[in-house]
Amino acid sequence: MRYRELGRTGLTVSEIGYGAWGLGQGAWVGADDDSGVRALHRAVDLGVTFVDTARAYDRSERVVGRALRELPGGGDGVHVATKVGPKIPVSLAPSGLDPMEAFPGSHLRESLETSLRELGRDHVDLLQLHTWEDEWTGRGDWLETVDALKREGKIRFFGISVKDHQPENVLTVLRTGVLDAVQVIYNIFEQAPSDALLPACEEHGVGVIGRVALDEGALTGSIRAGVTFPEGDWRRWYFRDDRPARVEERVDALAADLGIGVDELASTALRFSLAGRAVSTVIVGMRSLANVERNAAVTDAPALTADELSLLAKHRWQKNFYS
């Protein structure tokens, strides 16, 4: 495993991080606490030192907390990030919502206290807002609460998890200097962050946490026309209608250009995300031991060459399956 600095925070994190949404068992069918603990333990064994979860991920914080407590030293050396969702119960706060409705300071504090109880920890290394509208910059009392939580030692650093495919919807607040980290969708298909966000993060010393590097499984080659998911699994909605066939066409063209099989794409996809400017870590959902081992091994592979990156740039695909 290789390691990088998380922006200007002074934290050193593993290039491959653990995305713990799937451990929550609410949106991803097929998980259970014990298998989640085993997967996270194996990731730590292989050098993973960064775990990302959220209050909205059902049981995820509880499973992460149990897994870390069962490690020698209680998981010392593993950096934990979590997120607070908007107070109004919507998956993504709509444009025009006032920040005092979405993220009043009292809500940030209450959500964090719940997260700490679930995790069984007295602090988290990074607290993130789980959505953002850049028009909120300079409004509301959330920043005063963030500063207070830092002084109290309950959080070390603060960031924003950028709303779905809107990487430019955080540039204003980023340039104020209040962010330590930004989490953003960044993969071979979704390359928009490289236009403005990644250079801005590099300029301001803001760490970048890349997410959805495998495009919810599309870039593993496993999404083909006719694929099915069990009832209750959110991918049944995400890959609905003709979307799997569209993905298959794009993935096959990508693999053909690279001269590899579709089952070899995952490594290339992760290396692409790691090649982004200012990217500190790429968080990957991995509930099976096989996937943990496959993804952790990526840092043993050589970095992509300039020619390979140039080829991959041609496969940029403007889509938003979250809509």
Place of tokens 């609460």: 145
1 touches 299 (CB < 8 A) = yes
High-pLDDT (> 90) share of the chain, %:
92
Q: Which residues contact 204 (CB under 8 A, 6 or more apart)?
A: 174, 175, 177, 179
Q: Has residue 323 been placed in a domain?
A: no
Distance CA 192, CA 291 (A): 27
Pick the closest to residue 21 from 44, 53, 55 (CA basis). Answer: 53
Q: How many DSSP H helices and E strands does the chain contain?
A: 12, 10
Q: Has residue 188 been placed in a domain?
A: yes
- Which of the two residues, 183 and 102, has the higher pLDDT score? 183
Give residue-wise pLDDT tens across range 185-234: 999 999 999 999 999 999 999 999 999 999 999 999 999 999 999 999 99
Count CB neighbours of 222 within 10 A: 16
Confidence tier at 99 by pLDDT (50, 70, 90) = confident
Q: What is the pLDDT of residue 96?
A: 66
112 touches 83 (CB < 8 A) = no
305 pLDDT above the threshold of 60: yes
pTM for the complete prediction?
A: 0.96
151 pLDDT above the threshold of 80: yes
Q: Has residue 320 been placed in a domain?
A: no
95 pLDDT above the threshold of 70: no
Give residue-wise pLDDT tens across range 100-112: 888 999 999 999 9
Helix (H) or strand (E) holding 273: helix 265-274
Q: Has residue 322 been placed in a domain?
A: no
How high does pLDDT run on average in the chain? 95
Tell me, what CATH number does 170's domain have? 3.20.20.100
Q: What is the pLDDT of residue 90?
A: 56
93 pLDDT above the threshold of 80: no
Q: What is the pLDDT of residue 211?
A: 98
Confidence tier at 77 by pLDDT (50, 70, 90) = very high
The amino acid at 107: H
Question: What six digits make up the tokens of 317?
Answer: 């695909």
Residue 63 belongs to domain spanning? 3-313
Q: What is the pLDDT of residue 30?
A: 86
User: What is the separation of C-alpha 31 from the centre of its chain, rounded to a whole number of angstroms?
Assistant: 19
91 pLDDT above the threshold of 60: no
Q: Has residue 321 been placed in a domain?
A: no
Give residue-wise pLDDT tens across range 102-140: 899 999 999 999 999 999 999 999 999 999 999 999 999
Q: What is the pLDDT of residue 208?
A: 98
High-pLDDT (> 70) share of the chain, %:
98
Q: Has residue 217 been placed in a domain?
A: yes
Give residue-wise pLDDT tens across range 12-23: 999 999 999 999
97 pLDDT above the threshold of 90: no
Q: Has residue 64 been placed in a domain?
A: yes
Q: Has residue 319 been placed in a domain?
A: no
Q: What is the pLDDT of residue 94?
A: 55
- Structural domain count, the chain: 1
156 pLDDT above the threshold of 80: yes
